[in-house]
Every structure is written in C-alpha cells, then in structure tokens.
Structure 1
Amino acid sequence: MSEVRLGQVEYINCIPVYHALEEGLLVGDIELVKGPPSKLNKMFLDGELDITPISSIEYARHANQCIILPNLSISADGRVESILFFSQLPPTELEGKTIAVTTSSATSVVLLRILFEHFYHVDVEMISVAPDLDAMLAAADGALLIGDDAMQAHQQVLKDHRELIVTDLGEAWKEFTGHKMVYAVWVTHAALGQTAPHVIDQAASLLYEAKQIGLSQREALLEKSQRRSGLPFEVVDHYLDTIHHELGEAEQKALLTFYDYAYKSGIIEERVKLNIWGLVD
C-alpha cells in the first residue's frame, strides 16, 4: 500500500495525538491532511483519506463502512470547554426560537438537538451558519461553536463582559445521562480489514505510540497549543487536562448511550454496534 493519508483535526484537542508525528519523533509512511471535522468526515467518506478522526455521529451513520481504531478518541468527562452554546436566555426558555449551529461540526449539532429534545424539552429550529459568534447571534437566538472557535469566542465574551449564558454541552450531557461524552473516534475503511489488515495494525500502533509520546511532553504540547490557538496559557493548560483520548469501557458505554438517544430522535435509522479493531463481541 502507498503512503497512508491520515486526517488531522486542526483544533488543539488533537495535538497530543499528532505532536510526535508533526515533530518527526515517530516515523511512518503517512501524509497528514489537516482540516475541520466536517471536512475530514467528507474526505474520509469520499475515499480521500485512509484514516481519520471522525465525528462520532458520522461513524453511527456509516458504521458498516468503518472500523474504529482502538485506544483513541476525543472525549471528556463532564465539562469539555470547547463545545459551547451561547444564548441570552437559558436553554429551557428557547421554545420556538431559532438556533445557529456551526458548519464545522456534526456530533455537537446532534448532541445539542438531543439535549433540547430529551433534557430541556423545548422545540427549536436549527440553521447552519459559519462559525462567527456575532454573525450567528445576529441571525438567531443562540449559537453553537466548537473547538478553538468556541474557546476563543468564550474568552472574548468574558473580556467584553457580555451578558450571555454559556452552556457547556459536555457538562449538560453529564448532568443528563451521568456519562462521559465521546466526540470523535479514529476510523479506517472496513475494506482494509480484508485487503490490508497489517496496515490497520501498524497505524493503530503508530497512533497509540504517538499519543503516549505526546502526553509525556506536556510543556511542548502547551507551547504548541498556545501558539496555534492564541488562547491564554492557563486556559490551554486546563484544557489539556479536560480533553481525553482513551476508548475504554466507559467511553464505549458513553458512545452507545449517545447513539441510543440519536436513534430515539430519529437521527439514525438503527441502533449501532462498535466495530473496534482487535476486539471481538
């Protein structure tokens, strides 16, 4: 097989996994392809990437086409700090209102929809808008931002002392279900399991080792994350403790809970099983 095309989410939540690869601390026959989650989702499903972190809901929609790589996720236990809903009214008071959701995300939009339907019990209309808080709030009564965009917007809101309610969707999900929230998993194409299983083995090992090296070099991660995001040091420092990258039993249970609610809301047509490489039901 030729060089593996590996997707890389541009947000700082992926830096711990990719730092060693970017810095040449690990050598692999890979090409890093950077982009926001929505772009990488599409590229993978169009066959333009071999492996990528994919939005959790997109795995559910295309589970028969995907194999999940073990030991990798983008997740958090409660507050996530980078999946934020901004509004002037509490979410429970937004019945019949219009909500602007970022075009950069898939999972977070579904998570917000589930929370409105099953936790807040209000009906809202969602419109997709480019990730700009002021433009979103000019067009709607609430705005969903993710990743570095969300964190930067939150810092500006605090700096300007704006009277906005900021709801952390990870915290709301935890309050609603008691579970962690898994926002993305790393996947490859199911066909590779038949045609090139050694490629999956090598990629899974490489990414796991890259993650372990990254997590052992905290100062380098902090410097790189601060430089790329422009966020204050203390914000980045706390965020690196907030975002996790495991895919153990708790994360798997959390994923299946999320998929159950997506099924109940009619977002996916059938319940989902997790096809994790190396694990047998």
Structure 2
Amino acid sequence: MTRLRLGQVEYLNCLPVYHALEEGLLPLDAELIKGPPTRLNRMFLEGGLDITPISSIEYARHTGQCLILPGLSIAADGRVASILFFSRRPVTELEGKKVLVTTSSATSVVLLRVLMEHYFHVDVEFCPCAPDLNGMMSRGDGALLIGDDAMLAHRQVIEQELPLIVTDLGQAWKDFTGEKMVYALWVIRREFAAAHPGETAAIAALFQRSREMGMADVPALIKKAFRRTGLPRPVLDDYFTIIRHDFDQDYRHALLTYYDYAYKSGLLEERVKLQVWGEE
C-alpha cells in the first residue's frame, strides 16, 4: 500500500485533532498535507488526498466519492468565534449591497447565503475575494472571513476600534434554527476504504485517540496556537472551549438541517443522506 496522504486544515479549529500527531505522541506513517479548506477540498476530489477534513457542503456535493469517518467533525453549538461577517451597518440593512466572501471557505459561504435569504431576508451581491479585511471592506459593505483570518480580523476591529459590526454566523444559525452547526467532516475515499478496511479502522481510531489527547492538554494547544497566531491567551482559551469535534446524532441532525436549507436555496441539487464508514 502506498503511503497515506492526509489533509490538515491549517486553522486552529483542527489543532486539537492533529496536535498529538504533529508532536509525534502517536505513531503516524502518513504524509500530512496542510492548506485552507478549499485547497484540501480540491485536492481530495482530484485524488490527491486519501483522507481529509472536507467542507460540509462539498461532502454533500460529492457523496459518491467518499465516506464520513465516524465520530469526528468541526462544529460548534452556537457562537463559533471563527466564522465571522464584518459589516458597516446591520446585516438586515444590506439589501442590494456588495459583500465579499473569502475564497478559503465553501461551507461558510453557503451558510451566509442561507442566512441572508431565510433569516436576515436581504438580497446582496456576493463576490469572492482573498481573505483580507481591509481589502474586502474597501470593495464592499460586508466581508466574510473564516478560521484564523476571522479571529485575527476580529482582534483588529477591537484593538483599532474600527466602526464595524461583527456577526458570528454560528450564533446567527443557532438563533435562526436552534441547531448546532457542522462546518467540516473527516472523509475517506470510497475506493481506499473498500480496499483497505483494516487500515481505515486503524486511522479512524487514531484520529479519535489524537483528539482525546489534544483536548486533554489544552494548555499545550494554547501555547502552540499563541506561537502561530499571537492571539491573546484568553481568546484562545475561549476558542478551545467552544469549538467541537463531535458527530453524534444531534450534530447529524443539525447538518441535515443545513443541507435542507442549502437545497431550498438552490445551492444543492438534491437532498443528502449521510454515509458513515462502518455503518453501511
């Protein structure tokens, strides 16, 4: 068998799952390939990765190519702190305005579209843009950022006292639906899982163990995250409290609710069934 190729989102939301693997605390005979969500999505779908966290919306669009690894996601119950919309005026007053959306994200862009249509009830022009708050706000009336980019931009708004409203899309989704939100899933290529069931079981268990070890040592996560981003330690402590990596029945129901709204908005061509490895 060729060496496993594993995707790793280069944001703090993946750190609890990958910390033990990065530090060699668990054995891993695989190549870790880092990148933003959209790059890893593309690599996986083109055959360049065997396993990766994939944007939730991209799983829905490509269910025939992959299976979900059990018990693992990137999620939050309400406020998420790293999926943020910045605007000069309240979102409900953006009718007809231009908003810039990061090219690093897929799930969050669809989430914003759903919220604009079904919750805020405004029709806006969406324009993709590189993730840079100043550049985005110079071109439009709102900006969607995700991950570390969003958290750093939020600090900029606070420290520079910028006249911007910051809307947490996780909280907006919770206010709208009462549901949690699943932003990404770990998936494996169907042909790999079929050809290598033992290795698939082993890597699924390894990810679970790595997550457990990561969340058992939050001070180490905060130390590493501070080195990477410079974000204040209280902000990091808060973040590792609210970010979740579960995928139980509540999170599954929440994800299907998201897919249902994406379908209603014409952003999915058909309704989605979740196919989890080991549950066929």
Instruction: Give TM-score, length-normalised by structure 2.
Output: 0.99
Q: 1:193: Cα distance to partner?
A: 2.9
1:258 alignment partner AA: Y
Residue 228 of structure 1 aligns with which residue?
228
2:139 aligned with 1:155: no
Residue identity over aligned pairs, in percent, reads: 61
2:130 aligned with 1:130: yes
1:18-33 matches, cutoff 5 A: 18-33=18-33
Q: Give distance in 2, aligned partners of 1:184 and 1:66.
A: 14
Q: Give distance in 1, aligned partners of 2:13 and 2:146.
A: 11
Q: Give distance in 1, aligned partners of 2:91 and 2:102.
A: 17
Q: 1:203: Cα distance to partner?
A: 1.1
Q: 1:13: Cα distance to partner?
A: 0.8
Instruction: Give TM-score, length-normalised by structure 1.
Output: 0.98
Q: 1:192: Cα distance to partner?
A: 2.0
When the two structures are aligned, how many residues end up with a matched partner?
280
1:49-68 matches, cutoff 5 A: 49-68=49-68
Give the aligned CA root-mean-square deviation in angstroms: 0.8
Residue 45 of structure 1 aligns with which residue?
45
2:212 aligned with 1:212: yes
1:46-195 matches, cutoff 5 A: 46-195=46-195
Q: 1:277: Cα distance to partner?
A: 1.1
Q: Give distance in 1, aligned partners of 2:216 and 2:85.
A: 32
2:92 alignment partner AA: T
Q: Give distance in 1, aligned partners of 2:120 and 2:97.
A: 13
2:253 aligned with 1:253: yes
Q: Which runs of 4+ in 1 moved over 4 A?
A: none
Q: 1:162: Cα distance to partner?
A: 1.1
In the alignment, structure 1 segments of 5+ residues that lack a partner are none
Residue 266 of structure 2 aligns with which residue?
266
CA-to-partner distance for each residue in 1:145-165, whole Å, 9 max, x for gaps? 000000000001001111111
1:117 alignment partner AA: E
Q: 1:129: Cα distance to partner?
A: 0.5
Residue 241 of structure 2 aligns with which residue?
241
Residue 197 of structure 1 aligns with which residue?
197
Please state whether the residue corresponding to 1:163 is helix, strand or coil: coil
1:34 alignment partner AA: K
2:49 aligned with 1:13: no
Q: Give distance in 2, aligned partners of 1:10 and 1:251.
A: 23
Q: 1:199: Cα distance to partner?
A: 2.1
